[in-house]
Amino acid sequence: MSFLQIQRRNFWFLFINPNITFIEEAIFSVTEIKAVYNRYLGHVFENVCREFLNLKNRLL
């Protein structure tokens, strides 16, 4: 599984899956995701940086 697939899966299980019924019934507010999205994105950014450094290290 690629890095992007893992991140997409994580996003799905963290934000979409628990709220799928509310989303389907159009009673879900995006503000609920916005409340914790920056914290989630911080972890994603850390993983991107870690992957980049690992790849760069292999090329040296």
CB atoms within 10 A of CB 34: 9
pLDDT of residue 35: 86
pLDDT of residue 30: 87
pLDDT of residue 2: 82
Q: Where are the beta strands (DSSP E) in 1-60?
A: none
pLDDT single digits (tens) 7-32: 899 999 999 999 999 999 999 888 88
- The structure tokens 């991107």 sit at 48
Determine the 3-state secondary structure of 27 from DSSP: coil
Tally: H helices and E strands in the chain: 3, 0
